[in-house]
Amino acid sequence: MPAEPEWIRYDPDEETIRRLCAGLSCTEVVARILVNRGITDPTRASRFIDATVDELHPAAALPHIAEATQRLQTAVDAHDTICVYADRDIDGIAGAATLVQLLGTLGADVVPYVPGKWEGYGFSTESIEELATAGVDLLISVDCGTTAAEPIATAQEKGLDVVVTDHHQPDETDLPSIPLVNPQLSDSTYPNEHLAGGAVAMKVGEALLDRTHTIAQSDYYKYALPLAALATLGDYAQLTLENRAIVWAGLDRLNSCGLSGLQRTAEHTGVASPQDLSWSLIPLLNAAQEDESGTLMLDLLLGSETEEIDRQINLLETYREERKAARAARQAHLEECLHEQLEPHEEAMLLVETDRWVGGVPARRLSERWGKPVITYRQKGEAYVGGGRTDQDVDLFGLVQACGDHLEDYWGHPGAPGFRASKTELDSLCSCLTEELQRRYDEEDLRPRLEIDTTISTDDLTEDLVESIGALEPFGHGLAQPVFLVEDVDIESVGLFGSEYEHVRFEPADDAGVSIRHWGGKQQAMGLAAPLRAHLVGQVAWDDYRDVPALDVQDYAIRSESGQ
């Protein structure tokens, strides 16, 4: 059976909560949420809630940024052809849009390059040779390049200068000798190592303007911050104080950013909050990865013709629906492979071979259900390529890195590594990954947990509560959305809803004017018979359909099936 989460209740210091309530003039619920996240000082809490551009660190603190911007300025002044080379996801494209827009405004001869759907990610020797033939003088990367020693060497042999801007973890033994702007480098003194790739690109533009003084930073921020906000949320960057400032400042400037394509797409998706960026705008933009060309998202973000922008938005809507269907197919395929190959409850880690690419959301959902890290891999040519996702606090990249002797290459983040291994090393790799997991983590560390901020009643589920929690957005990596326990709720009926009736709605017996929903909870709710009484654990939201406050249930414990 899938793992049942352990309910963990915070036990904060009551005096600290009272002091924070007084210092912030906030509710006890908000104070508890902040204290539970280690934010106990009223001044820091105020900065956290109202994060502004004052929290942005100086770009000059990034490693090698002086050399990078010197080369860019030289290229602009000499009218060299500059290629902005980016990965095709939202992080890379948002950063590319920032630099393409800025360099174009500075009068540079700038051309973007984004690998197409079947070209993979990052630098490739083939693309480098193509750009050299096209007469590119300077290549600047966004969200890639840190470990691309061989393609960079090829670029240098072909006479191209290279500047890398990136945020991926480096292999310190094989770094190229070029300007490499990356807060993850061991010699970096930048205070925030968790910048998204697009935010690093924004910082490079900021440093370039500090050097040239040709455009006011405030004018640059009008479009650079909204794009950096998309990169930050789209890449699940840890929500440090600076990253929160980037998101809020970007959202504030979104409707006046001057990029017609971005503004029209934001209007189309109804963006009004950081959650709308994460749940509506970013998924639509990321659907551009289904296009054969890699430049669709970039063309849209920087577009100016209304008819063409609308055509591209409609195309993205088509791709998004296709993506949903493809994701459902990948999920089903992953489930089938899992049960053919493993007894999930007997495994420390779910290592699953598939015959197609399966990662991202399907792997994460599998990890959530079984409470175990998931690694999927498939044969590609003469090697195996794979990647991982985890719902637990497990550094999967660290595990992959520790098994580097069995790999031809690896890349990625702690929660989303990728790798390539030869056929002969595959079994040894799988054994190594499991051994490293068991060596570094106890079984109890891997059990899924629901960390409960505080207990509330259905009477506490009000519009004011929803709004006060919304002020703490954005939620994500490093800042979990608050979770509440509602005890002894009398449920009058249990029903299904959704296009495939996959979601569950609990109707409270007291007609409390609230909505209680369990997204995707059909399987767990099988056999439930109302009336019943239950403890409910979930997150507070707003039910737009019913226009009432909502509790989105994550787990529950049945207290009685008689309602008594």
**Residue 114 CB contacts under 8 Å (≥ 6 apart), including other chains:** 85, 86, 87, 88, 92, 93, 96, 293, 294, 295, 298
Cα(376)–Cα(359) distance, rounded to whole angstroms?
Answer: 7
Contacts 24+ apart (CB under 8 A), 178-187: 178/152, 179/64, 179/65, 179/67, 179/68, 179/71, 180/63, 180/64, 180/145, 180/146, 181/62, 181/63, 181/64, 181/65, 181/68, 182/62, 182/63, 182/146, 183/62, 183/63, 184/146, 185/63, 187/63
**Residue 232 CB contacts under 8 Å (≥ 6 apart), including other chains:** 195, 196, 198, 199, 243, 246, 247, 250
Residue 209 lies in a domain: yes
Q: Contact 551/484 with Cβ under 8 angstroms?
A: yes
DSSP 479: B
Residue 277 lies in a domain: no
Residue 265 lies in a domain: no
424, two tokens: 């002969």
For 114-157, strand residue ranges (E) read: 138-142
Q: Which residues of the chain have pLDDT under 50?
A: 563
431, two tokens: 């054994």
pTM: 0.87
Please check whether residues 430 and 498 belong to one and the same domain. Answer: no
Query: Is residue 508 reached through a cis peptide bond, with omega within 30 degrees of 0 on the bond before it?
Result: no
- Choosing from 212, 233, 257, the residue where a domain stops is 257
Cα(97)–Cα(301) distance, rounded to whole angstroms?
Answer: 7
- How many residues are there in the chain? 564
Residue 524 lies in a domain: yes
Q: Contact 55/185 with Cβ under 8 angstroms?
A: no
Going from the C-alpha of 238 to that of each of 41, 379, 483, the distances in angstroms are 21, 32, 19
CATH number of the domain at 396, please.
3.10.310.30
Query: Is residue 362 reached through a cis peptide bond, with omega within 30 degrees of 0 on the bond before it?
Result: no
Q: Contact 98/105 with Cβ under 8 angstroms?
A: no
Please check whether residues 137 and 237 belong to one and the same domain. Answer: yes
Q: Contact 386/408 with Cβ under 8 angstroms?
A: no
Cα(303)–Cα(164) distance, rounded to whole angstroms?
Answer: 26
Q: Calculate Rg over the CA atoms of the chain.
A: 25
Residue 291 lies in a domain: no
Please check whether residues 100 and 11 belong to one and the same domain. Answer: no
Q: Contact 365/387 with Cβ under 8 angstroms?
A: no
Cα(288)–Cα(286) distance, rounded to whole angstroms?
Answer: 5
* Residue tagged 């493993």 (tokens): 342
Which residues form the domain of 95? 57-257
Cα(390)–Cα(373) distance, rounded to whole angstroms?
Answer: 4
What does the pLDDT read at residue 1? 52
- Choosing from 446, 474, 496, the residue where a domain stops is 446
Closest CA to 480 of 50, 38, 169, 54: 38
Type of residue at 111? V
In tens, the pLDDT along 288-323 reads: 999 998 999 999 999 999 999 999 999 999 999 998
Please check whether residues 92 and 214 belong to one and the same domain. Answer: yes
135, two tokens: 């007469």
Residue 292 lies in a domain: no
What does the pLDDT read at residue 184? 94
Type of residue at 495? G
Q: Is 237 helix (H, G, I), strand (E, B) or coil?
A: coil
What does the pLDDT read at residue 369? 82
Please check whether residues 470 and 429 belong to one and the same domain. Answer: no
CA 558-563-564 angle, 5° bins: 105
Cα(207)–Cα(226) distance, rounded to whole angstroms?
Answer: 18
Cα(302)–Cα(91) distance, rounded to whole angstroms?
Answer: 15
How many structural domains comprise the chain?
3
Closest CA to 257 of 306, 218, 204: 218
Residue 550 lies in a domain: yes
- Choosing from 237, 257, 277, the residue where a domain stops is 257
Please check whether residues 506 and 399 belong to one and the same domain. Answer: no
CATH number of the domain at 515, please.
2.40.50.460
**Residue 488 CB contacts under 8 Å (≥ 6 apart), including other chains:** 533, 534, 535, 559
Please check whether residues 99 and 149 belong to one and the same domain. Answer: yes
CA 539-541-547 angle, 5° bins: 150
Please check whether residues 412 and 492 belong to one and the same domain. Answer: no
Q: Is 5 helix (H, G, I), strand (E, B) or coil?
A: coil
Report which secondary-structure segment, H or E, holds 529.
none
Type of residue at 422? S
Q: Contact 72/106 with Cβ under 8 angstroms?
A: no
Cα(466)–Cα(539) distance, rounded to whole angstroms?
Answer: 10
Cα(538)–Cα(203) distance, rounded to whole angstroms?
Answer: 38
CATH number of the domain at 193, please.
3.90.1640.30
Report which secondary-structure segment, H or E, holds 72.
helix 65-78
**Residue 311 CB contacts under 8 Å (≥ 6 apart), including other chains:** none
Q: Contact 537/450 with Cβ under 8 angstroms?
A: yes
Please check whether residues 458 and 508 belong to one and the same domain. Answer: yes
462, two tokens: 């009000």
DSSP 277: I
- β-strand pairing of 484-497 with 503-508: antiparallel
Q: CB-hemisphere CA count at 13 Å for 557? A: 12
**Residue 223 CB contacts under 8 Å (≥ 6 apart), including other chains:** 97, 98, 101, 253, 257, 258, 259, 262
369, two tokens: 């259900």
Please check whether residues 436 and 491 belong to one and the same domain. Answer: no
217, two tokens: 């930073």
Please check whether residues 129 and 27 belong to one and the same domain. Answer: no
**Residue 121 CB contacts under 8 Å (≥ 6 apart), including other chains:** 87, 88, 115, 144
Please check whether residues 66 and 96 belong to one and the same domain. Answer: yes
Residue 486 lies in a domain: yes
